[in-house]
Structure 1
Amino acid sequence: MFTSELFEFKQTDFVKESQQLNLHYKQGQYTFCETLTFEHDSLQIDETQPEISNAIKYLHLAAGVSYFKLQPFSQIKMAQTTLNTAQAHFFKKLYINGLAEFAYRNQIDIREACEFPSSDVTQTPLVKATESQEQHALVLIGGGKDSLVSIEALKKSGKKVTLFAVNPAEPILNCVKQSGLPFVSVKRTLDPQLFKLNEAGGLNGHVPITAIISFTALIVAQALGCDAIITSNEASANEATVVKNGVEINHQYSKSYEFEKDFTAFVQKFVHPNLAYFSLLRPFTEMRIVQEFAQFSHYDAVFTSCNKAFKIYHQKSQTRWCLACPKCHFVHLMFAVSGMDEARLKSIFNGNPLNQIEHLQAYRELVGLTENKPWECVGEKLESATAIYMLSQQKITQDYAVIKQLSQAVIQAYGADVLQSASTDLLKARSLHYIPEQYRGCFADV
């Protein structure tokens, strides 16, 4: 078992010639170096610019979570960075909530351990906030339906957009090509020792990857002169995966509105006051997002939401949809209930998991008939339950094996009236979002 009493954030260094950022850490006797290479000829990172220097410093802290979790009871020490109380609180909250699933599944309590040292340091003044700035959005693209809906809405609204991804897999690159938009990528390489120590017994589990990507985007957005970083995190990212002893544990914490709000406040107070960070799809459920996606078809042959196509360390899937994981089950379910014609559904998924009864337990988790939802980026339990109910009311889908087996249990759990109302309510825009005025109007009801 890996043991350590001290976790140190060592130095960062930037190699201008290769545009490579090196992040150094030390955990016990082991030293780690994570690298990020900014892969775009026209993108020049000026690490001496105070705002970019700050972004690098904070990315160093966010990315350290991958190594800290090897032994998350180590005392945190910082060699170069000094945080004030508010900054330390932000990172403590990010580590506690971002590692909540990791802690729950490893049956440990890390809440007392994620203590970032702080002092009453004087903050370097930021650049002055300006009232007008060119609208140029850096949009995170993940290769799935959500970011594609954001991209098409922004294009239709005439917004200037540059796409961004970290370690883009083939589905992302294919979606970028279909979009016709400029693209910047960063190659992130974790220290290979991390995987070896995991295999030797070091603690492992989910980290708040969206937070790490967002801090990386912060560097790129400033280098490009962007006024906004746009994600495509939907309303359902706010729902806890499980609630244990009154504590919410959310697989999607760093995609949640709570993180978005905290990150926005942090960036505008400590990095750049003119840079917005928000999700364009926060007002929408997954069910509504699929309705939006159904209005265009030029990504049908290239997009995927199956996580097996995006593995970092283990073998990537050779197919776009495995149709055996909770993510595939959920996304297919949303498409199945969207009213999309059978031929298009078949061309996208090349199969129908709703007709495979061996997946029944996975669907029970999706609809909320078990203690927790799947540990995946899936929608609200009510969304899945409503979709099952709606499909049970349609002649063409009511005899699918999973629908036939599950529909009565769903009706019993929620009530037919609730599910019927939800079938329309879930398509309406919600008011909880952080979309600034200049980016509203991309959708008619936002």
Structure 2
Amino acid sequence: MEETASELPVTETFRIDRPSFDPATGEARFPYRLNDLAFTEVLTLPRGAGTAAAGSPAFAKLLGLTALVLGVSYFKLRAPLDITAPDIPLTAAERAFVIDVYENGLGEFYARNELTRFGKLTLTAPDDAEERKPALDLPDRTLLPIGGGKDSLVSVDLLTHTGVDFTPFAVNPKGPILSSVEAIGTPPLYVTRVLDPEMIRLGKEAGYYNGHVPSTAINSMIAALCALLYGYSQIVLSNERSASEGNVMFDGRETNHQYSKSLGFELLIADTLANATGGALKYFSLLRPYSEARIASLFTHSDKFDAVFSSCNRNFRLTGNDGPLWCGECPKCHFVFLIFAPFMAKDRLLRIFGKNLLDEPANEQSFRELAGLTGQKPWECVGEILEAAACFYTLTRHADWHEARIVSAIKPDLFAQYGEEKLQLAMAECLTDSRDHHIPPALAAKVAAYAV
């Protein structure tokens, strides 16, 4: 549905003011203004940041870029066309990065609110002629964001077995993150993020929009601040190649729930962070060569995290032991169950989920959507449609699963839509590692040697 001229907020402006950081308290403050509304977001980082690092041009640059990226949460209240950052100088490449965050990073938000914004946003900020900041001297250490799901825990296993020391990192850790980090057994680095409560309140009011924001982009910028302040030369993500597939076409572009996990965004933010630090800070995903199915197969190598991990957003709990890890009803639960089934012993999978999700008729519609047999790809962090279909094909030939109700129910439509040969080739492709990644060559070789 196209907006009429009267509906377009042409007179509204979203303003991002200069952020501040106090090394003594670890508090970073990010002020925003949307017309007459004023907001302040607060990050609390660990104490003990080096004053030299906090006073460096590179940190000032990253603090400003972080303010711009965190601003999406306040911008989306009205989603105006004009964005201004009068005190944050930007290079041409940084402007392109910020616009990408506000366009493609908010693609799902625009699609679900029927807002046409692609190609219409303007960003006003002073010019920064220095395309690349002076090089920093950062220790050869790794910061590893932990999300509490299977992916980052596979990264833990890969880094551990290739001899790479790392520090677990999270923003506002809770539930499976806390229990996973406890099982990892390595001291973490945590940041507290407090959104302005007025923004949260307005997001529920009539006349204001709400919706999905690119959380991986937000957390990555916060991790970059920590990398400079506490001495880390690389941020290692756990985003798979499947994350690059979008959900729907809207306003002339493919929109992707996982856009800030995609390879395209990874390359863009990696270049931005490198230029801001004179090439000192690296950013890449260790799991980029892998499909979700391949990651599931790697996870089965160890049962260390079976009782603590969860990919279920609905049950992302406040503590590690106050309820079920898996709701068993959402697309995330269904997809993770589906990709584990071909590789994990059935009794182990049922212990993790508490029940057989492929034997409950109420789940059939959701599984059909995952496999592309009806509807659209869910707005969730799930893998490729053909990947899900290929996993189902494997289950139709699996002694433990071929008689499951949902596998039997969708088998005729699955074969009719795709054909056996295409499904066989798709499964083989899922288990073949891609060369399209950004992992440093020496580390990539070590990981490839181990992940067999």
Is the contact made by 1:73 and 1:113 (CA closer than 8 Å) also made in structure 2? no
1:235 aligns with 2:234: no
Aligned AA (2:437):
H
Question: C-alpha separation between the residues in 2 aligned to 1:429 and 1:184?
Answer: 31
Partner residue, 2:402: 398
How far did residue 311 of structure 1 move? 7.4
Matched, 1:417 2:421: yes
Give deviations 1:87-130, integer Å, cap 9, x for gaps.
21111112100111111111110124432124543228622378
- State yes or no: 1:20 paired with 2:31: no
Check conservation: 1:169, 1:309, Cα contact below 8 A: no
Answer whether contact 2:204 2:210 (CA < 8 A) is retained. no
Tell me what 2:257 maps to: 251
Distance 1:426 1:74 in 2: 41
Structure 2 counterpart of 1:376, which letter? Answer: E
Q: CA deviation at 1:74?
A: 4.3
Aligned match of 1:8: 15
Write the distance in 1 (CA, Å) between the matches of 2:65 and 2:402: 51
Seen in structure 2, the aligned counterparts of structure 1 residues 134 and 77 have a Cα distance that, compared at 3 Å, is closer
Any residues of structure 2 matched to 1:215-234 within 5 Å, and which?
215-234=221-240
Indicate conservation of the 8 Å contact 2:18/2:64, yes or no: no
Q: Which of the residues 101, 105, 130 maps onto 1:94? A: 101
C-alpha root-mean-square deviation of aligned residues, in Å?
2.2
Q: What is the aligned counterpart of 1:138 among 140, 143, 147? A: 143
Residue 275 (structure 1) aligns with: 281
State the match for 1:444 in structure 2: 449
Distance, in Å, in 2 between the alignment partners of 1:134 and 1:76 is: 36
Secondary structure of residue in 2 paired with 1:321: coil
Please give the secondary structure, in 1, of the residue aligned with 2:19.
Answer: strand
Aligned residue-pair number: 439
Residue of structure 2 aligned with 1:59, choices 52, 66, 74: 66
How many angstroms apart in 1 are the aligned matches of 2:38 and 2:251? 37
**In the alignment, what sits opposite 2:41?**
34
Which of 382, 397, 415 is 2:386 aligned to?
A: 382
Deviation at 1:194, TM superposition (A): 1.2
- One of 174, 198, 201 as aligned partner of 1:196: 201
For residues 72 and 186 of structure 2, what CA distance do their matches in structure 1 show?
A: 32
Q: 2:362, 2:154 → 1: CA distance?
A: 32
Q: What TM-score results when the alignment is normalised by the length of structure 2?
A: 0.92
For residue 66 of structure 1, report the CA deviation from its aligned partner: 0.5
Instruction: Measure how far apart 1:265 and its partner are.
Output: 1.1
The superposition leaves residues 185-206 of structure 1 with CA deviations (integer Å, 9 ceiling, x where unpaired) of 1111111111211111210111
Point out the more displaced range, 262-271 or 381-390: 262-271
CA contact (8 A) 2:118 2:251 kept: no
1:181 corresponds in structure 2 to: 186
Q: Which residue number corresponds to residue 171 of structure 1?
A: 176
2-side partners of 1:435 and 1:227: how far apart?
Answer: 14
The residue number in structure 2 matching 1:213 is 219
AA aligned to 2:374 is: T
Deviation string 1:302-344 (CA, Å, 9 cap, x unpaired) is 00000123379xxx98321001000000001111121x22221
**Pick from 135, 139, 142: which aligns with 1:128?**
135
Alpha-carbon distance in 2 for matches of 1:11, 1:330:
42
SS in 1 for 2:399: coil
Whole-angstrom distance in 1 between the partners of 2:317 and 2:92: 37
Per the alignment, residue 115 of structure 1 pairs with 122
The one of 422, 428, 433 equivalent to 2:432 is 428
C-alpha contact (below 8 Å) 1:386/1:420 kept by paired residues: yes
Whole-angstrom distance in 1 between the partners of 2:331 and 2:58: 40
Q: Choose which of 250, 262, 266 in structure 1 pairs with 2:272.
A: 266
- Counterpart of 2:184 in structure 1: which amino acid? S
Identity %: 37
- Quickly say closer, same or farther: Cα 1:179–1:380, change in 2 above 3 A: same
CA distance in 2 between counterparts of 1:128 and 1:53 reads 14
Normalising to structure 1: TM-score of the pair? 0.93
Q: Distance in 2 between matches of 1:413 and 1:125?
A: 51
SS at match of 1:98: coil
In 2, Cα distance between equivalents of 1:44 and 1:237:
36
Q: Distance in 1 between matches of 2:23 and 2:427?
A: 54
Separation (CA, whole Å) in 2 of partners of 1:405 and 1:277: 44
Query: In structure 2, the residue corresponding to 1:309 is in which secondary structure?
Result: coil
Distance of 1:25 and 1:54 partners within structure 2? 18
